[in-house]
Structure formats: structure tokens, C-alpha cells
């Protein structure tokens, strides 16, 4: 498919200069205002100089002097409509909810403070523009660069951590007379406290975040970044290691979605934007910037605040009609994994409490005695569950389910029953759960995918709740798998998405088979059937996608390399097409399946547990996994396998991997797929029968099919040139297709559109309204048909959903329709 990719449009810049300075902890203090659709407040960042992941690429060392010069034209902040400083006397008794609350004002759409807003620059920027040198140049001041977009930054100031009562315990050098050096030493001692003092550390972070300011800092913004400097601070070591940023989001900001839930009530949530969280708060986006965080969020008392956090937060009433929620995380992770959802969610509770639920309630909180053996882990020190003997045996972690009130019954009937067995299945395969608890939220209808995993919280689409438990169970297993692959173990270079999605796709089948307690032969049959479906999907996707987007390791030998400053560019990170592609899921899945078959399942999963224990809490590249795997393969099974051959055949080439083609051509069709083949033959006979027959023939008897078998059946029937209305009507009635899960209904809608089966257009309309995560492709089919009625159906459905639809999806659909 000949689609030209434009780097200035498709590549995502990571601007933060993480090679010089790293954020170790964020303290967010935010107000959520639904009337103005703005989140406003303060962010305090605690820094440490240096980066242990720093690697330089000579090919990406290009600097842009014009950009650098422009960035250094700083302005002192103009007066804002918020108090300049917090003039309250600091008290050690202040709690997390004692932050000042400022007025909201009107919805921010015009960017009145143009002096500080991110400038909406035109596209057409070359990739090298993003690779700016922000290091020290002789007498110039050090420049801190944070990833930032669609934010109004109001004020930046240094925080006087030395003013915090009791903080003198962190001043080891009495000889220090320079106050700025003293403050930085305090921060250094604070961020490097041992893991068994994590509670004390969080308390001091909170107290320091409320300390008074001690001088405003110069700042400026451009399209993708916030740049900050302090006059006279010429190196990262001299730069203040604790700063406070006062800012507000914009209603059109791309990191969060303001919408209505299925009950018609307002809500806001982070939906996994391609630009991640830089339009929610200024941060260091590169994954090497592993940090912890704590957040206090205030909202109307009628709303529930869910967030990536180790604690199951409860609301604190501040005043009538306003509540505050506080969450924290002690495991360092990339800022991109931070997630928040604020809405009128209802907690769905079981009618009766099962023994497994009782066991899950026994939460294992970190204690000083639990974390003494940091040397057994390869990550930076934190309160790690892999070192906690009690956590290691915990099959089911504490969990909660939230949803809009109107979906409470569906969640109680299906989703709530699946969480415990899926968590238990995951533990039986991989061992210790990396996270201490889990919230599952059914998000609004405009959520652009079936699911998304973040630390301690999983978002699921409402599309997973229809039909039987199959789609809901498999998707839940997929997101649970991300706790290990994607979160506890992350990709050091975001272009290697297969390290997250390939693993989760491969593991979802294994988890789901165990959750259903299938016999080994049944599990194999179901997994072979899913492999058959994915093979068809991969072939179709490769036929209809640009070749550059088919490569799992597009940067090849430059993967993981950054500029001197730490900035980099994520190749194709903003490509509109990429958001709707599954190549990294499917190719990654088939690579892992290929390797598991080569080793044998028992050996492979034993190795996987070993790999998790070795690399949890760390960032990896493809070679880290492959090298360790090959070291564990006996010589007689390794044959021609090497890291280089896997790179060549699987990760660095477009199209179908040759080993996969060979395997699929040689493999026999599984029993479940053969059964579908027999049913297809029956339907073809039905379709060929004349409308009026002189004598009654033998009536076809159709077998009951599994959901995946139904998907395969409908895909085979889609290959038929014509299906008459009688056949389609019989098909609909035989399998009750409008009541099946979303995967089955999607194929049914494709059949309806292809054959212009007008009696079932209502099913297409329903799908486009209720299953927006999967409906984009159908809009294209409706328009390609060049049928006036179908095109009108597409336009009318889009008109009804456009305002609530995910921005990227709406843009793609609009291009199809107009």
C-alpha cells in the first residue's frame, strides 16, 4: 500500500533532556472543574542529576542553533490571575489537603496568556529540529527541558525545601554555606532514602511540596516543550532540584478527554493519547525518566477519582459539595503510565462474598521488615513485591470494579465474576503480581480501544460487556498481562511496542485457558483457532498498510540511542494510521509463539518466570529478552536461531516473516477450524438453493459454535461473492448474531454492508453508536460501497456521535466521509 509518511507529522518528539537531569518524584495538587473543562493546580518536581541509561547516537547529535537560540529568549512571567506565592506560614501539621484552592474562571479556549501558552506552530518540522542541545555552553545558564503541550503555564518557582520543619536531618554537610547547595543536598538525601523508609519519604515529599517559594524561574514554551532556567545556574548540579509549576490544562488538550458517560453525566479521563501525558502535566516523557508520584485531586463530591496508585483512596470532604482524593506510587515508572479518571462512577460489588474475594481483601501493605534484600533485584531500590514472601503467594490481589450506574447490572453479571479467576490464572503462569491492587473501570463509549492497562488500574470498553464472557475474559487477561509486560517491564525505546503488546497477546490465550480451567487438549484447540484468526488478520493488515509501519524495530541498530541531551524522536509515533494497526500485536505474538514451540511450553514459561524475576522494575530492548532466551535454549534446539537472525526475519523487515510462512504452510488445520469449514459448506449449499423448490429437500443442521468459531465462519462467508437475503436472515436467526459479542457483531455488520442487507441496517447503526472502539473500519466500508443509502447511514451516525467521539477516530472518519 503506497501511503507516504511525513516525519514532521508522524514522528513524536521527546524533548526532555534526561541525560542531564531526571525527575525522581512528582507531587500533583489539582482541581477538576467540569464547568470550564479545566484541570488546574500545581506540580512539584524533585530532581536528581544524571541518567544511568544515557547512550549517545552520533547520527542524532544534530543540534538546531536557531531553535536553541529561540528557546533561550526567556521572559519573566507576566502577572497572572492567581496569587503570586503561597503566603501562609508553613506548618508541619499540614495534611495533604491543605493546599490553597484558587478560582477557576471561564473555560480556557483562547489562550489569553499567549506569553506562556504552548504556541500552535505550523507543521512541516523536520525530525532533527527536535534534537536540540540543551547542555551548558560556557557561560550560558543550564536549560531544563520538559515535555509539555496544550498547557497554560502560569508560574515556575524554586521551592525552599530547607524551610520544612525537621528537614535538617537531611543536611549531612554542616560546611555547606550556599543555600542553593543546601537545598539540593536535602533533595538528594530525600530521593535516595532506602526503600524501607518509603512512608517517611512520601510524608516529606508532601511537606516539601507545600514549602514556600524562594524565587521565580525564567520559563518559555514552544509546541512540544517547557524550558526553564535559573540565572547563574550553569549546570544541572547547580539547577534547583525542587521546583513548583503552576499551570492549567486546556479543554482541547490531547492527553485527557472531557465527555459524558453512558448515563449522560460528565466525566474526564486519560485515554492513552499518542502524546501521552504532556497535555496533563509538564513531565519527562522518555521512558528512562522512571519516577514515583503522589497526587491530591479535588472535585465535586458527586464524583469518584480513580488513579494509578497503590492505595485504594477514599474521599475526604473538604467543604460542602467538594471532596479530595489522595493516591501515591512507590515503584518508579515512566510518567506516561500515569492515569486518572474522574466521573460519577459506581462501585460494583458482589451480592455475596466468595472465599477468593475474602482472600483478595487481605492486602499485603509494604512494611519495613518486608524489604531488606534489595540486592536480589536488578532495579533501583523501591518497596518491591518480588522481595515480599507474602505477596509472592498472593494469587488474587485486592480489586474493585467501577462503571456508570446504567451498566452496573452487566458488570455484576459478567465482569465481576471474571476478575478473580483471571488474576489467579496470571499468577499461576508468571508468579508474583507486580502491583498490590487493581481497579477496573468501564469507560465511556468514546474510548478508542477495547482496553488499556496502567499501574493499578485497567480501562475496559463497554463493548466487552455484550454477548458471552469470551471477549470480556480475553481482553481482561490481555490487560492483566500488561502488569508484567508493559508496566513492570517496559520498553526502553517506545518504537519496540511488540515487547508490550506481543507478550500481552500471547499471554492472554494462556491466562484465559487457565481461567476457564480447560483441559490441555481443549486449551490447545482454542489457542490454535485463535492463531488461525490472527494469521488471517495479519495477512489482511500487511496487504493494506504502509510498509514502514509493518516493521517492529524501525530504528534498527539505532534503537535505544538518544542525543547528548537525552531527547529523541519516536518514529511514526503520531501516525494516524498506526493507531488502528495491530501489526506489533500480531507479529510479536507469532514470534513468541514460534519461540515457545521451539523450546516447548514448559521450558518457555519456566524461562519467562525467570526473565520476569531478572528484569522487573527495569526497561529493556529486544536484545535483552532474546539474548537471555537463547542462553536458555539447549544447543540441539537452537539450530540456526540467533539474535541477528530474529532481528532480520521478524523485527526489522516488513511483510510476513519467512519462518512464519513456512510454519503456516506446513501446519495442519486444527479441529475447531475444520468444524467451521464444514459449516461454511452447509451455508454455501443453503445459499445456492433456489427460492422456490418443487419438493422439500433435506434441511441443514448447524452445529453450535464457539465465539471465535463464529468469527471465522463469518470471515469465510465474507469471501463469498454473493449471499442472498434469505441466507443472511437464516444466518442471523441461527446464531442470534445481534446478541453476540462485539467481535462477532463486527463481522456480521460487514456482511450486512457488503450485501446491502437493509433489514439489518439497524445492527450497523447500533454498532457505530455503541462500539466506537471498533467502528471506524465500518465507516470506510459504508462509503466505499458507493450506495447512497449506506453513505447517508454513515453520515447520520457520525453526526450523532462526532462531538463525543475520540478525537483521532473522528478525524479519520471525517476524512472518509467528506
Q: How far apart are CA 713 and CA 747, in angstroms?
A: 9
Q: Tell how many helices (H) and how many strands (E) occur in the chain.
A: 25, 24
334's grid cell: 515512566
Which residues neighbour 69 within 8 Å (Cβ) at sequence distance 6 or greater? none
Burial category of 583 from C-beta neighbours within 10 Å (exposed 0-12, middle 13-18, buried 19 and up): buried
- Give the Cα separation of 810 and 776 in Å (integer): 9
List strand residue ranges (DSSP E) for 467-507, in order: 489-491
Q: How far apart are the first and last CA of the chain?
A: 22
Nearest Cα to 293, choosing from 326, 328, 325? 328
**Segments of 527-627 assigned E as strands:** 568-570, 618-620
- Which helix (H) or strand (E) segment holds residue 78: the answer is none
Provide the grid cell at 659: 519462518
Q: What is the dihedral angle through the alpha carbons of 346, 348, 353, 358, rounded to the nearest 10 degrees? A: -80
d(C-alpha 297, C-alpha 292), whole Å: 17
Rounded to the nearest 5°, which phi and psi values hold at 74?
Answer: -85, 155
- Where in the sequence numbering do the catalytic residues fall? 479
Nearest to 447 by CA among 223, 795, 742: 742
Distance CA 500, CA 491 (A): 7
- Helix (H/G/I), strand (E/B), else coil: 810: helix
Task: State how far the Cα of 360 lies from the Cα of 604, in Å rounded to an integer.
Answer: 29
Cell of 11: 514522528
Report the greatest alpha carbon distance in the chain.
Answer: 107
> Which H or E run includes 710?
helix 707-718
Q: Is 30 helix (H, G, I), strand (E, B) or coil?
A: strand
Between the alpha carbon of residue 107 and those of residues 151, 252, 253, 799, the distances in Å are 13, 10, 12, 24
507-526 burial code (b ≥16 CB/10 A, e <16):
bbbbbbbbbbeeeeeebebb
Question: What residues form DSSP beta bridges with 748?
Answer: none
Q: On the CB side of 214, how many CA atoms lie within 13 Å of its CA?
A: 18
C-alpha cell at 721: 461473492
* Contact yes or no for 608/646 (Cβ under 8 A): no
Amino acid at each position: 500500500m503506497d501511503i507516504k509518511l511525513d516525519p514532521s507529522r508522524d514522528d513524536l518528539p521527546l524533548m526532555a533532556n534526561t541525560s542531564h537531569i531526571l525527575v525522581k518524584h512528582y507531587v500533583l495538587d489539582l482541581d477538576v472543574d467540569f464547568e470550564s473543562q479545566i484541570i488546574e493546580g500545581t506540580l512539584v518536581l524533585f530532581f536528581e542529576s544524571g541518567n544511568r541509561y544515557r547512550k549517545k547516537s552520533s547520527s542524532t547529535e544534530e543540534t538546531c542553533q536557531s531553535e536553541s537560540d529561540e528557546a533561550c529568549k526567556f521572559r519573566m512571567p507576566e502577572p497572572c490571575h492567581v496569587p503570586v506565592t503561597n503566603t501562609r506560614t508553613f506548618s508541619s501539621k499540614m495534611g495533604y489537603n491543605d493546599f490553597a484552592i484558587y478560582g477557576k474562571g471561564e473555560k480556557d479556549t483562547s489562550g489569553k496568556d499567549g506569553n506562556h501558552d504552548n504556541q500552535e506552530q505550523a507543521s512541516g518540522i523536520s525530525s532533527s529540529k527536535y534534537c536540540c542541545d540543551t547542555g551548558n555552553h560556557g557561560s550560558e545558564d543550564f536549560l531544563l527541558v520538559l515535555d509539555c503541550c496544550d498547557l497554560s503555564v502560569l508560574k515556575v518557582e524554586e521551592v525552599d525545601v530547607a524551610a520544612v520543619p525537621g528537614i535538617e536531618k537531611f543536611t549531612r554537610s554542616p560546611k555547606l554555606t550556599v543555600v542553593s547547595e543546601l537545598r539540593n543536598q536535602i533533595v538528594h538525601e530525600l530521593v535516595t532514602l532506602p526503600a524501607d523508609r518509603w512512608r517517611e519519604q512520601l510524608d516529606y515529599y508532601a511537606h516539601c511540596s507545600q514549602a514556600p517559594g524562594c524565587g521565580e524561574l525564567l520559563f518559555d514554551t514552544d509546541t512540544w516543550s517547557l524550558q526553564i532556567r535559573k540565572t547563574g545556574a550553569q549546570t544541572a548540579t547547580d539547577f534547583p532540584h525542587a521546583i513548583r509549576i503552576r499551570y492549567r490544562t486546556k479543554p482541547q488538550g490531547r492527553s485527557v478527554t472531557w465527555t459524558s458517560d453512558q448515563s449522560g453525566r460528565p466525566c474526564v479521563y486519560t485515554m492513552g493519547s499518542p502524546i501521552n501525558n504532556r497535555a496533563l502535566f509538564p513531565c519527562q516523557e522518555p521512558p528512562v525518566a522512571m519516577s514515583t508520584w503522589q497526587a491530591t485531586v479535588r472535585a465535586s463530591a458527586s464524583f469518584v477519582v480513580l488513579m494509578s496508585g497503590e492505595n485504594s483512596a477514599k474521599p475526604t470532604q473538604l467543604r460542602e459539595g467538594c471532596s479530595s482524593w489522595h493516591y501515591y506510587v512507590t515503584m518508579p515508572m515512566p510518567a506516561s503510565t500515569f492515569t486518572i479518571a474522574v466521573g460519577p462512577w459506581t462501585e460494583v460489588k458482589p451480592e455475596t462474598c466468595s472465599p477468593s474475594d475474602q482472600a483478595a481483601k487481605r492486602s499485603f501493605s509494604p512494611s519495613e521488615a518486608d524489604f531488606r534484600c534489595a540486592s536480589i533485584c536488578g532495579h533501583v531500590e523501591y518497596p518491591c513485591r518480588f522481595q515480599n514472601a507474602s505477596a509472592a503467594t498472593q494469587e488474587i490481589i485486592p480489586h474493585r470494579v467501577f462503571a456508570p450506574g446504567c451498566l452496573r447490572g452487566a458488570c455484576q453479571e459478567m465482569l465481576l465474576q471474571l476478575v478473580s479467576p483471571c488474576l489467579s490464572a496470571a499468577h499461576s503462569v508468571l508468579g508474583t503480581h507486580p502491583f498490590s491492587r487493581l481497579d477496573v473501570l468501564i469507560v465511556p463509549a468514546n474510548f478508542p480501544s477495547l482496553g488499556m492497562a496502567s499501574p493499578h488500574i485497567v480501562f475496559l470498553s463497554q463493548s466487552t460487556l455484550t454477548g458471552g464472557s469470551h471477549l470480556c475474559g480475553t481482553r481482561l487477561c490481555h490487560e492483566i498481562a500488561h502488569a508484567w509486560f508493559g508496566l513492570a517491564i517496559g520498553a526502553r525505546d517506545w518504537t519496540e511496542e511488540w515487547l508490550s503488546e506481543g507478550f500481552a497477546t500471547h499471554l492472554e490465550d494462556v491466562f484465559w485457558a487457565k481461567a476457564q480451567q480447560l483441559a490441555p487438549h481443549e486449551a490447545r484447540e482454542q489457542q490454535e483457532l485463535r492463531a488461525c484468526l490472527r494469521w488471517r488478520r495479519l495477512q489482511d493488515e500487511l496487504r493494506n498498510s504502509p510498509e514502514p509501519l509493518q516493521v517492529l524495530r524501525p530504528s534498527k541498530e539505532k534503537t535505544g540511542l538518544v542525543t547528548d541531551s537525552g531527547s529523541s524522536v519516536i518514529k511514526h509515533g503520531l501516525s494516524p494510521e498506526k493507531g488502528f494497526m495491530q501489526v506489533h500485536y500480531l507479529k510479536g505474538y507469532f514470534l513468541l509463539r514460534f519461540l515457545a514451540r521451539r523450546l516447548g511450553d514448559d521450558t518457555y514459561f519456566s524461562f519467562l518466570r525467570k526473565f520476569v524475576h531478572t528484569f522487573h522494575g527495569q526497561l529493556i530492548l529486544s536484545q535483552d529478552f532474546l539474548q537471555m532466551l537463547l542462553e536458555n535454549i539447549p544447543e540441539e534446539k537452537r539450530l540456526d536461531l540467533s539474535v541477528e537472525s530474529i532481528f532480520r526475519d521478524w523485527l526489522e523487515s516488513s511483510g510476513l516473516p519467512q519462518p512464519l510462512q513456512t510454519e503456516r504452510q506446513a501446519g495442519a488445520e486444527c479441529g475447531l477450524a475444520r468444524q467451521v469449514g464444514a459449516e461454511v459448506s452447509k451455508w454455501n449449499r443453503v445459499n445456492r438453493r433456489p427460492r422456490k423448490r418443487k419438493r422439500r429437500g433435506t434441511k441443514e443442521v448447524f452445529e453450535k459454535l464457539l465465539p471465535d468459531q463464529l468469527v471465522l465462519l463469518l470471515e469465510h462467508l465474507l469471501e463469498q461473492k454473493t449471499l442472498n437475503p434469505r441466507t443472511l436472515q437464516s444466518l442471523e436467526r441461527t446464531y442470534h448474531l445481534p446478541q453476540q459479542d462485539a467481535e462477532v457483531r463486527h463481522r456480521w455488520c460487514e456482511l450486512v454492508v457488503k450485501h446491502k442487507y437493509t433489514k439489518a441496517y439497524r445492527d450497523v447503526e447500533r454498532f457505530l453508536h455503541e462500539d466506537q472502539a471498533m467502528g471506524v473500519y465500518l465507516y470506510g466500508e459504508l462509503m466505499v460501497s458507493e450506495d447512497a443509502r449506506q453513505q447517508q447511514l454513515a453520515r447520520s451516525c457520525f453526526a450523532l456521535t462526532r462531538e463525543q467521539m475520540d478525537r483521532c477516530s473522528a478525524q479519520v472518519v471525517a476524512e472518509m466521509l467528506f
